[in-house]
Every structure is written in structure tokens, then in C-alpha cells.
Structure 1
Amino acid sequence: MTRRYMHHRAELQMSPRRLPSKCLRARTVLLAAVVAAQVLHAGVHFTPDEYRSRRDALRARIDTVGLAVLASAETALRSGDVSYPYRQSSDLLYLAGITRPGTFLVVLGSPIDLGGRNVRDLLFIPPYSEMRARITGEAMTLQEATTVSGADTVLENGGLGAFLAKILAVKRVLYHSAFQPPFVVDWLNNRILFIERDAEKMLKEKFPGLAVKPVSPLVASLRVVKSHNEVAAVEEAARVTCDGVMALLRAAHPGVFEYELQAVLESTFRREGAQRTGFPSIIGSGPNSTRVHYDANTRRTQKGDVIVVDIGAEVDGYTADVTRTFPVDGHFTAAQRKLYTIVLEAQKAAIAAVKPGVHIRAVDKAGRDVIDRAGFKKYLTHFLSHSVGLDVHDPGLTGMGAGDSLRAGMVITIEPGIYIPAGADDVDLSYWDTGIRIEDDVLVTPDGCRVLTTGVPKEAEEIESLVGNSD
């Protein structure tokens, strides 16, 4: 950051009352420039028009006498006065692009008059705090929120309660985002307090005749098929993820700890502009390779191990999801190579089946049949695909609002695997403690599909040649 930029930011954080009147116009111009720069850095793929279009699509699914209210994710307390790094609710991020906590979005089924303006949606955000802006840089003005989201009206969140009390008196249907969590455990009295259920009950008592419904299925139905810009975001996340895997492969050698490989991977993500991982990184070596969602990453690798890395960088809210399996010493054993070849053949068969109109279970079957014929049916313990996007397990397929048939614009994973733990009594012990999974992200196109994660190879010989090779 240049000194000039820092100087302008300091000026912009001053209250307008402290600026001479002749500076107000300059302040407004500078504010717009800084916000544009922030949006370009944090959300290069998305514009206010796209967020407006998404809200219009949601509005079309809401009763004209209804409204939807979506709350931001809560800040999660780690301990004392320290919180976990904040990540916005995916639905709110999808509809408004605002990354700050304490934000609420209201989408109206039909417009209302508000101060002489025709308003279709409102955004409520925390009051701007100059002190918070100086300390953390995380404060957002009403104008900044408007610039990012394109909302018709942006107000301070202290006014949300009064607004809802007034609008619910005339609206008949309320769609709302889920409470997180929907219940809490009162362990002192050995009971469960159902916060969401009780909140809905109170609303219905206060506004007789009001129907209260979840908004998540409606938003999920919009998120299934990705826009051109969303695909670009996933592709960028895929590029960064593949670069991370390549760096990890080159750093691998017997004796390295799983967490050391994780550090190589995730430092590459951050260096290349990813904001975070899309989910906890899985670096499973030896016996841990057979544990599908192992993410402790504490074991020291040994010669002869295979390592399963299942990881994803998150860029502009969108994550990739890639898995590669490799021998830590650069050479598959005969048993490991046999399993790897079977899994790779299964993945290729499943990818070949991907096209619009195909039932996702037919894709799963195409890959599963390869593993079944090879005699390892019982060691494939999961479905071969899921949607990916703002969440690593995005809405779609058998999830909310999508059905089971593929459509052009969907982004899915293809991830067959074989996992044979020690002690398996129907295979040779040379297969024990061997897990193999290969996963790629695949865009469904009008005439078939396109693999988005080609930045890291998956043929056995290519994988072997990369391990420990820093050239």
C-alpha cells in the first residue's frame, strides 16, 4: 500500500463534520475511488448489477405479499475476547456481496414507498465507527455498502426491528434465513432451547395469519447453476489450488510431517491471493489416507506411504475442491499402483458420463462400476460427486432446490476412491493402510463437460515424477 493511499484512507475516515465544506466534494470522489479499489481486490468477478439480478430472481420466487429476511453469519467466539476469522453466510454473500457481520438483507416481494422512493430491497448494516476503522479497517459506510451491493436503500441495523414490526403488519409471508445454531443446549437444566422455533412462534402470535417459511431452499435453487462470473471465480480458485498442490508435491519426502506439507500448500494459497481455505485441508498419510475426512494433519510420513491431499483455496467466496494421491517417496508400490489405476479409470469413466440431462446417479454408477468390477466394491464408501461453489458442498444434485439431473452451468466434483484399512480380511496385506482418491472440479457445458482443475496432473507416472522434484 502506498503512502499516498494510506493518507487518503486516513482522510476518508474523518467525519464530514470535521472537514471544511470545500473538501466534501473531494472526499466523495476519493471515497468512490477507494471503494472501487476495494471491490476490485475483494470481488473482482462481481458487480452490483449481478447482485441486483440475483435478488430479482429471488423476488420472483417470493409471494407478492411476502418478504425475505437474511441475516449475516454470527461471529464465532474462540475463547475469551478472541474470535475465529469471520466468514460471511454464503446466501447473503451471494445476494449482496457484503462480507461484514451484523448485516441483514430484506428482499420485498413487491416494492414499497419509502421516503418517496420505490424500494425493492433494503440492507441494514452496523453503524460506521471511526474508531473501528482506525483499529481494524473493517468499518463500512452506508455509501460503501450501496456501492458493493447495489441495494435500493442501506440503513443502520439498529432500525431493523422497527422496520420489520411495521412491514410485517401488512405482509402475509415471511421467508427467513436459518438461525445459527437453531437451538442451544442448556446443560445446567438438561434441556434444549429451540431458538428458531420459538422465534417463529412469537412472530405468528404477534402477527396472526403470517406464514413463516425458510428462505434457504429458494436461494439454493438460484445457486445451483453458476453464472459466467461465478465459473470464473471457481476457475481462479482451481488455478490457485492446483498451484498449491504442485508446490506440495515438490516439497514431499519421507519423514516430512503432514502439517509441513499443509504449510507449503496454504502459504501458496495466500501468496496467490486466496482469502482462506474453503474447508480444512486434508493431508492424510499412511493409515490416515484411509480416513475420508481426516484433517488433524499431525503424523510424520514414512517411506512407502501414500498421501491423500484433499484441499481447496477460496477466492472471492468461491472454493475449489481437488484431491490427489501420491507416494511420499516418489514410487508407488505394485499394490498402490494397481489401486491408483483402478480409481483413475473410474474417474475417467464418470467424467465421460457428465452432460446435461444425465441423472447424477448415472454418473456415480459409471465410476462405481469400474471399482466394482475390480473387486473393491466394499472399499468405496461415499458418493462420487457433489456441487461446489460458495460452499464446498454447494446446493445442487440431491441437495435443496435442484433435483438430480445435470444442467449446463453446474460445477460438480468427480471423486472416486478406494480405502483399505489395516486388518481388512479379504485383501492381501500389501493393500493395507492404503487410501486412494482422485478428485477434479467439472463444469457441465451445453454439449458435455470441461474439467476446471487441469493444473496438476493425475497420471501415475506424472505424479511420481513431481514428488520431491524442486526443479
Structure 2
Amino acid sequence: MRYRPMPPTVFAAARKRLYKSLPPGSLVILHANDVYPTNADGTLGFVQSSDLYYLSGVDQEETILLLFPDAPDPSMREMIFLRETSELIAVWEGERLTKDQASAASGVAAGSIHWLDQFDRFFRMAMCQAKQVFLNTNESLRATVEVETRERRFITRCQQEFPLHRYERLAPLMHELRIIKAPAEVTALKEAIAVTESAFRRILGFVKPGVMEYEVEAEMIHEFIRHGAQGHAFSPIVGSGKNACVLHYIINNARCNDGDLLLLDFGAKLGNYHADLTRTIPVNGRYTPRQRDVYNAVLRTHRHARKLLKPGVQIKAYQEQVGAFVEEELIKLKLLTRAEVKAARDRDPSRPAYKKYFMHGTSHHLGLDVHDVGNMWQKLFPGMILTVEPGIYIREEGIGVRIENDVVITARGNTDLMPTMPIEVEEIEVLMAGGNSKRAGRITPVAR
């Protein structure tokens, strides 16, 4: 793997936290994600199950994690099952984890690491002793799952072979654990952010009228790979002109024209943690007065939103407060009148007037997934990591501006994880003109 793995103590501690949430006699079984086919003999790149990685540190396909903390046999309390490597696999695909390597990565005893052909035997032994079985599913509110996953196939198998067992949902427990980040996780995300900042600074020196959006995307991935990142955290948005008003624009095939803004929403994936940055820059290096006014309105909203994020806040209520603030900014920009704001509120309170120009949420959780575990009804606690990403999109003017940083909730409020990322109009213009930033960037990843 390219990235430096976190210490095994991080994953062992995560398992211990899970055990505190389990009733006596519980068995937990998690599977790696599938390697999904494309066409002919092609496959998509492997992406590990976030939950399995969180509890084991193993980043390899066909892995199974079996946790039975109350097992009478101590060797069965934590077990990992791996795809057995061979000379053929080594020649065609490269080396796979040995048992000792998996033990070193996870903190699970080497004697409890087995090849997959041993799983059925241990699985039956554990099932016959367990009082309840926790199985995993994707319970993200945003998810649309149209394929039968490895986890879903295993649930069907369990229910067929052991129909009288009591099955429980693991997802709620994992969400509760993963939403609060350990210090090592914050450090991992900082490393991904450092690489992302390096890419953004590279882009500021590259963009000029006439470049293609996909050329800008190429600059991103060049910098990511150069610093050992796994790649893009998500499909990057490189939207110039009117394309910046398309929230999930990922075609990235247009020319960046003189006088247009370029919206960049991207981030590096490093150590399975995802950075998420958005900046909106002028293609020719100088904001027009109107672009500057819109940008600064979004920047003021961004900073106001950060002031609101603190322990005890509910994201849904926070979003409403941010909406009220951006509404005032839209009035100043002469995009709304107070009469329109009042009329919209009287007509349908769930559809305030500002949503014409700011139609998405301000924050989402971030971590092992870009849209990490958590929902808008939960209250914030120290250790949660969120984005702050307000925007204003004026389709009739071809202006779309979004500004996004990642923050960690602290006891008193929040800390910006992107403190040196260029954000001010003047700073961006100076850097695009070849000058030096007033703040030094962290060009290389932070060492653990």
C-alpha cells in the first residue's frame, strides 16, 4: 500500500469500544466489499468496507472479521480470515497479506489469523455458541444500493443455515463509534488535507484562460499520486462558468474561459481518510467586482457557519440559522427582496426563498467516507469532523461560488483543519499571479 498504516493499537481500541456496546454472548461478523465487475474481464478498483477497516486495519479484498468477545476459547474472540496467497497470485496480482502481516496491522493475535478455507468451521462453532449475531448493512440515509453486496449474501446464508438465531443490526453501533474520531484519525485526515492543499496551490499556478477542465483535474491527480495518496476522495468537480452552478458536475470537459469563475470541489484519499475542499477561483486570475461581491458573501457565510458549530448543536437547526444568514447576503446582492423572503416563508416554510440560490446543506460528516456516518438530527460532540461548505449559485449570471473547509468539533467550538489553505480573494489573486501566500502551506503530509 502507498500510505503508512495507523498503529494496530488504534484498531484494537476501536474493537474494545465496540465490545462495550454489545450484550453478553454477541457475535459480530463483517465482510470486505466485493470487487465489482465492469465489462469483459474488467473490474473496478477495490474499495475496502469502512467498518471492517475501522475495526481491523486490513485493506484487502475477501477479508472476513469475526469478533466473539465472550467466546470460551480465547483464540476465537477475535479472528481474521484472509484470501490465501500463492505463487500464481504473487506473479499476476502481487503479494497478499501473510498471517503475520495481518496480525501486525490489526493487533489480532497471529494464531487467530486464518485462511478463508477455515472460515466455515469456525463460523459454525461460533454460531452454535452465540446468543445473538450482529451483521452489517449499509444504513446511510443517502445510499442507493441496487446490487447484492457480499454482506447481503452472507445475511441470506446465515438466515438459511441458522433460522432460529436472533439477528441484530451492527450499523447503528458502528455509526455511534465512527462518528467520534480518535486522535490518530484526525492526524490521518490532516495528511490527506496536506496533499489536497499541495494540489490546490499547484492549480493556482496552472489555471489560465483556455485550459480544459480535465487538464485541471489532471493536475490534481498528479499531485495526489506524487505524495502517495490513493487517489481522489470522490469524483472531482471542476466546473467553469455555468458549470459551477451544477452541484454534482463531474464531466469536466469544458474550456475555462477568460472572465469565468472555476469551482473546484475535490480532495485526496490517503490512508482511507478523505479530505474535502472547495474553492472558487477566477480563470484569468482576477475576480470581477460582481464575482468578488458574491465570493465574499459566501466567505462571510462560511465564517458565520463556523461560529455556530459547537457541541450541542443539531445540524438541522444549524442549517436553518445558516439559511437565515445567507438570505441577508442574497438581499445585499439584490438577488432577493425582503418581500420575496416573507412571501416564500408564508407560502411554505419548508421552501425558504434562499433555496433558489443555496439549495444544499452546509455541512456533512467526514472521515472514512466522504459523506461519513451521522445525520442532521444528531447533536454535535467533540471529536466529530464536518465540512463547512455554503454556496451561492446564480444560474442566470453563470456564477457559482462554494467555499469549503473541514473542521473538527472541540469542547469550545471547532478547529479549522485547513488553516493555511488559501481562501481570501486577495490571497488567491496574488498566488495566481505568481506571488507568495501570506500563509505557508503544508506541502508534504504530516508525519505520524
TM-score normalised to structure 2 length: 0.85
Aligned to 1:121: 78
- Deviation string 1:360-407 (CA, Å, 9 cap, x unpaired) is 234323432221112351210111001111111111243xxxx52111
Q: CA deviation at 1:470?
A: 7.5
Whole-Å separation in 2 of the counterparts to 1:414 and 1:275? 24
Query: Given the alignment of the two structures, is residue 146 of structure 1 paired with residue 103 of structure 2, yes or no?
Result: yes
Greater CA drift, 202-211 or 407-416 = 202-211
Aligned to 2:195: 240
Whole-Å separation in 2 of the counterparts to 1:206 and 1:156? 22
Q: Any unmatched runs of 5+ in structure 1? A: 1-37, 185-192, 423-431
Whole-Å separation in 2 of the counterparts to 1:79 and 1:108? 39
- Deviation string 1:398-440 (CA, Å, 9 cap, x unpaired) is 3xxxx52111111110000011223xxxxxxxxx111100000
Q: Report if the CA contact (8 A) 1:254-1:329 is conserved.
A: yes
Q: CA deviation at 1:60?
A: 2.0
Q: 2:125 aligns with which of 166, 181, 190?
A: 166
Q: Report if the CA contact (8 A) 1:234-1:320 is conserved.
A: yes
Aligned to 1:266: 221
Q: Any unmatched runs of 5+ in structure 2? A: 336-353, 437-448
Whole-Å separation in 1 of the counterparts to 2:268 and 2:233? 6
Aligned to 1:55: 15
Aligned to 1:359: 314
Query: Given the alignment of the two structures, is residue 385 of structure 1 paired with residue 363 of structure 2, yes or no?
Result: yes
Greater CA drift, 232-241 or 137-146 = 137-146
Q: 2:45 aligns with which of 85, 88, 98?
A: 85
What secondary structure, in the 3-state scheme, does the structure 2 residue paired with 1:314 have? Answer: strand
Q: CA deviation at 1:331?
A: 1.7
**Paired amino acid for 1:379:** Y
**Paired amino acid for 2:394:** I
**Paired amino acid for 1:137:** G
Greater strand share, 1 or 2? 1
Q: Report if the CA contact (8 A) 1:346-1:366 is conserved.
A: no
Gap change, CA 1:57 and 1:458, over 3 Å in 2: same
Whole-Å separation in 1 of the counterparts to 2:174 and 2:95? 27
- Deviation string 1:317-375 (CA, Å, 9 cap, x unpaired) is 11110100011011222222221111111000011112222222343234322211123
Q: 2:134 aligns with which of 175, 181, 194?
A: 175
CA RMSD of aligned residues (A): 2.3
- Deviation string 1:195-246 (CA, Å, 9 cap, x unpaired) is 9778646534532431223322211211111111100011111111111111
Gap change, CA 1:409 and 1:80, over 3 Å in 2: same
What secondary structure, in the 3-state scheme, does the structure 2 residue paired with 1:370 have? Answer: helix
Q: Report if the CA contact (8 A) 2:34-2:150 is conserved.
A: no
What secondary structure, in the 3-state scheme, does the structure 2 residue paired with 1:79 have? Answer: coil
Greater CA drift, 372-381 or 288-297 = 372-381
- Mark the structure with the bigger radius of gyration: 1
Aligned to 1:96: 56
- Deviation string 1:91-116 (CA, Å, 9 cap, x unpaired) is 11111111110100011141331xxx
Whole-Å separation in 1 of the counterparts to 2:122 and 2:135? 15
**Paired amino acid for 1:60:** K
Whole-Å separation in 2 of the counterparts to 1:204 and 1:76? 24
Greater CA drift, 52-61 or 165-174 = 165-174
Whole-Å separation in 2 of the counterparts to 1:355 and 1:289? 30
What secondary structure, in the 3-state scheme, does the structure 1 residue paired with 2:72 have? Answer: strand
What secondary structure, in the 3-state scheme, does the structure 2 residue paired with 1:412 have? Answer: strand
Q: Report if the CA contact (8 A) 1:277-1:313 is conserved.
A: yes
What secondary structure, in the 3-state scheme, does the structure 1 residue paired with 2:247 have? Answer: coil
Aligned to 2:390: 416
Whole-Å separation in 2 of the counterparts to 1:463 and 1:319? 24
Gap change, CA 1:329 and 1:270, over 3 Å in 2: same
Query: Given the alignment of the two structures, is residue 463 of structure 1 paired with residue 424 of structure 2, yes or no?
Result: no
Gap change, CA 1:242 and 1:466, over 3 Å in 2: same
Q: CA deviation at 1:182?
A: 6.1
Query: Given the alignment of the two structures, is residue 438 of structure 1 paired with residue 393 of structure 2, yes or no?
Result: no
Q: 1:331 aligns with which of 236, 261, 286?
A: 286
Q: What percentage of residue pairs aligned between the two structures are identical?
A: 33
Q: CA deviation at 1:447?
A: 1.7
Q: Report if the CA contact (8 A) 2:34-2:149 is conserved.
A: no
Query: Given the alignment of the two structures, is residue 43 of structure 1 paired with residue 8 of structure 2, yes or no?
Result: no
